[in-house]
Amino acid sequence: MNDSPKLFIGGEYVSASSAEIVRLINPATEEQIGSVVDSNAADVARAVGAARDALPEWRNTTPERRGAYLTALAGVFDGRRDDMAALVSRHNGTVISRSRQSNAARPIDIYRYHGELSRSFPWESVVDTGSGSSAIVRREPMGVVGAIVPWNAPQTLAAQKLAPALLAGCTVVWKPSPETSMDAFLLSEMLNEVGVPPGVVNVVTGGRGTGQHVVGDPGIDKVSFTGSTAAGRAVAASCGQMLKPVTAELGGKSAAVLLDDAPLDVFARSLIGTCLPNTGQVCYSCTRILIYRNNVEEVVDVVLETIGRAAVGDPMDPRSEFGPLVSAAQRARVEGYIQSGLDEGARLLLGGGRPAHLPVGFYVEPTVFIDVTPEMRIFREEVFGPLLVIVPYDNDDDAVRLANDSSYGLGGSVFSRDLDRAKDIARRMETGSVLINGEQRSERIPLYGYKDSGVGGDASLAAYLNIKSISGPRG
């Protein structure tokens, strides 16, 4: 691919009809590092056309063959994992140690897993009708998928859509976030390298307007959206008008519940990964820490000690644990939340400003507030930055009540030495996923959004399949 911004359509890098571009800024240096096309309706229609042309042949290949492409993709990706991790970090500021996981190891695992799944999934089954006959139940691809992806873990989030959609037999128009578009082109090179037929995956770059064209294009049969709740509502409303199937994986404001017997050494080790992964820019970050009242002092010490000594710095430095926020706009948003916490009477325990040793880059100090009440915006709203709130509770029921006092329901965690008790609390939490004692999320299990965190959100194969039954008289 040469340097002028292009789109990936029908297996080739083509010029766009739109003359609008989006400048790409390295969030650690504030320098421009490229630009992409802000695709218009004609560009999207061209990509949708290529995906429709590719659909008949792709859907008629066997699942095993499609799975073999995914296995091959995992292999090629494995060989370029360092390039991919570094490319994403330069564009979104994710610290490189995390990017190696979220933009390389995890997506590779997702492609590999779906390659294996092709052989065991019940594509067609025979069901007893209960009246002496039987019916065939088939799972068939929904068609052309519009995949809209945010910037925070672009390769995992894209793989969660591409792998099941392609395995199902769908073709895809993929709209990455403008901030992280170059990694989509790197993946497109890999798709060409493994011989995925032209048009099966197409990349159109651009911002919200491009996303709206993807959602509205009549040639898109299904929309798979990941992003903010506000945008998800708009996308789901459009899809509702068109009766177009949609999955929407949205925001969160998850809670970490520390029971009175929480193992604090385990909590300390997993604190950043559980509560502020990717500098707090992860949908399931547990940014509300709920602590049994008698333990507050002891746990606050652990939080301040762990976060206070974490390295904030250059995302390309393997020692950095916090990097810059993705953009100047995101930093302004987080700073607005810090100010709202102060204005509403919360007490600042740590951070609150910009790190003095990093005058360039969109950095914000990891920030911790206490004396936070459920009415405050920093308790209720998704900040998407390094901001934690600490809230005491009086007993287990109170902890569950506070955890559930949210319009969101995406992630969550429980810390306790008693695993059965921790699981009981987890069962009572109104949320799609709970990790106990700092367990890591697996990409092989679903991530459903309760409440405002999503609609049918699930990165599974079923989200890309129609179900057909065929029944007839006994033959």
Active-site residues: which are they? 249, 283
- By C-beta, is 251 or 277 nearer to ligand NAD? 251
Return the SS3 of 289: strand
Contact, 186 vs 83, CB < 8 A? yes
Classify residue 120 by burial, with Cβ atoms within 10 Å: 0-12, 13-18, 19+. exposed
CA 233 to chain centre: 17
Nearest to 247 by CA among 261, 236, 260, 263: 236
Measured from the CB atom, is 306 or 453 closer to ligand NAD? Answer: 453
CA distance 38 to 277: 30
Residue placing its CB nearer to ligand NAD in the complex, 150 or 169:
150
Q: Report, in Å, the least distance between residue 268 CB and ligand NAD.
A: 25
- Identify which of residues 393 and 464 has a Cβ nearer to ligand NAD in the complex: 464
Name the token pair of 216: 């509205």
The Cα 214–Cα 363 span in angstroms is 33
Nearest to 227 by CA among 432, 410, 51, 98: 410
| CA dist., res. 188 & res. 168, Å (int) | 19
Question: What is the smallest separation between the CB atom of 246 and ligand NAD, expressed in angstroms?
Answer: 11
Which token pair is 76? 């090629």
Q: How far is the CB of 51 from ligand NAD (least distance, A)?
A: 17
E strands, 347-434, are 347-350, 367-370, 387-393, 408-409, 413-415
Question: 291 vs 383, which CB is nearer to ligand NAD?
Answer: 383
CB of 117 to ligand NAD, least distance (A): 20
For the chain, helix (H) and strand (E) counts, in that order, are 15, 22
The residue type of 313 is: G
Q: Which amino acid is at 58?
A: W
* Residues contributing to the site for ligand NAD (CB under 6 A): 148-152, 157, 175, 177, 207-208, 211-212, 215, 226-228, 231, 234-235, 249-252, 283, 382, 384, 410, 447, 449, 454, 457
Nearest to ligand NAD of 212, 413 (CB atom)? 212
**Min separation Cβ 196 and ligand NAD, Å:** 22
Of the pair 251, 341, the CB lying nearest ligand NAD is at 251
Please give the residue whose beta carbon sits closest to ligand NAD in the complex.
Answer: 211
What is the nearest approach in angstroms of ligand NAD to the Cβ of residue 326? 8
CA distance 222 to 243: 10
Q: Please report the DSSP string for 4-60 in residue order.
A: S--EEETTEEE--S---EEEEE-TTT--EEEEEE---HHHHHHHHHHHHHHHHHHHH
Encoding tokens for residue 327? 């953009």
Question: Is the torsion defined by CA of 137, 138, 142, 143 positive or negative?
Answer: negative
Which one, 300 or 334, has the nearer CB to ligand NAD? 334
Contact 100, 280 (CB under 8 A): no
Min dist CB 257 to ligand NAD, Å, is 20
In three state form, how does the secondary structure of 389-404 look?
EEEEECCHHHHHHHHH
Output the six-digit token pair for 181.
Answer: 């578009």
Identity at 205, one-letter amino acid code: T
